[in-house]
């Protein structure tokens, strides 16, 4: 953890000694009473935490907060619904890279049953986003959904974005060569990545109908999580953001 995140309610009280954050403070960072650490409120400001007391069952903490961080550059990622283990990696890495929204959607070739995974039903997905934010030394986690179809997700887009879909098979241009993504103004971007079996013909027709430019990442076929990291990195670099 490069920063330890808390809800507003947690920051006002105590932290159980069994909580992974308490274990990290005491066993990894080796903080004692009076020791400080980097802290943040989820989707709020960063600041410093301080250990006021170490008791048998709890840590008593205090906090001093700075100003809220500047808004992220708008980046919506649409992802064909993958296996839960792949989704865990995508949630974590996309948050680390600064995505503002992640929508896992059903497509022509994905398994719609993945939406019934305990990853989603128990709220586990949020933990992986928090891990990504802590890695990035940030407090913000993206908006996340997993119950829409590709068609409904496309229909709900706000409009006015640069729209790019990754496709190994029918795209003519490499993502890094697309002039559209080189626009430096703070224009929102929507990036669509297919499921692990790739886009179907109906999916491609929907993307083209909704104004998506299809682009590829080269001849090699990448895992979904690798393709997402590569694509967002290319986008950020092209727009002078890294």
pLDDT < 70: residue spans in the chain: 183-186, 242
Phi-psi region of 240 (alpha: psi -120 to 50; beta: other; left: phi over 0): left
At residue 50, the pLDDT reads: 97
Q: How far is CA 151 from CA 23, 88, 147, 171, in A?
A: 44, 23, 12, 20
Pick the CATH number of 4-65 from 1.10.600.10, 2.60.40.10, 3.40.47.10, 2.40.240.20: 2.40.240.20
* Stretch(es) of the chain classified as CATH 3.40.1280.10: 75-238
pLDDT tens across 206-242, in order? 999 999 999 999 988 899 999 999 999 998 888 777 6
Whether the Cβ atoms of residue 77 and residue 99 lie closer than 8 Å to each other: yes
Return the pLDDT at 193. 96
Nearest to 142 by CA among 76, 235, 224: 76
69 alpha-carbon distance from chain centroid: 17
Q: Which CATH superfamily is domain 75-238 in?
A: SPOUT methyltransferase, trefoil knot domain (3.40.1280.10)
Q: How many CA atoms lie within 13 A of 70 on its CB side?
A: 1
What CA–CA distance (Å, rounded) separates 112 from 132? 25
pLDDT value, residue 13? 82
Task: Check residue 184 and give its pLDDT.
Answer: 59
For 14, how many CA atoms within 13 A lie in the half-sphere containing its CB?
12
- What are the backbone dihedrals phi and psi of residue 189, each rounded to the nearest 5 degrees, phi first? -125, 135
Helix axis angle for 224-238 and 84-96, nearest 10°, is: 20
**What global pTM score does this model have?**
0.92
Tokens of 220: 């090699």
Q: 210 is written with which tokens?
A: 């909704």
pLDDT of residue 48: 97
Stretch(es) of the chain classified as CATH 2.40.240.20: 4-65
């Amino acid at each position: 953890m490069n920063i330890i995140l808390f809800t507003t309610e947690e920051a006002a009280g105590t932290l159980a000694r069994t909580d992974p954050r308490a274990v990290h403070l005491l066993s990894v960072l080796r903080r004692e009473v009076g020791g400080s650490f980097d802290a943040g409120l989820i989707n709020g400001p960063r600041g410093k935490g301080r250990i006021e007391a170490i008791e048998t069952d709890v840590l008593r903490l205090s906090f001093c907060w700075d100003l809220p961080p500047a808004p992220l550059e708008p980046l919506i990622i649409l992802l064909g619904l993958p296996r839960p283990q792949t989704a865990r990696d995508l949630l974590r890495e996309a948050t680390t890279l600064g995505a503002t929204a992640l929508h896992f959607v059903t497509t022509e070739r994905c398994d719609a049953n993945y939406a019934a995974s305990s990853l989603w039903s128990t709220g586990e997905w949020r933990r992986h986003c928090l891990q990504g934010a802590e890695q990035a030394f940030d407090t913000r986690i993206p908006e996340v959904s997993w119950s829409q179809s590709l068609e409904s997700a496309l229909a709900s887009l706000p409009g006015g974005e640069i729209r790019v879909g990754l496709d190994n098979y029918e795209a003519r241009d490499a993502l890094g060569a697309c002039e559209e993504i080189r626009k430096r103004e703070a224009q929102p971007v929507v990036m669509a990545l297919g499921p692990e079996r790739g886009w179907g013909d109906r999916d491609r027709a929907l993307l083209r109908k909704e104004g998506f430019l299809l682009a590829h990442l080269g001849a090699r076929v990448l895992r979904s999580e690798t393709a997402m990291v590569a694509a967002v990195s290319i986008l950020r670099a092209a727009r002078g953001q890294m």
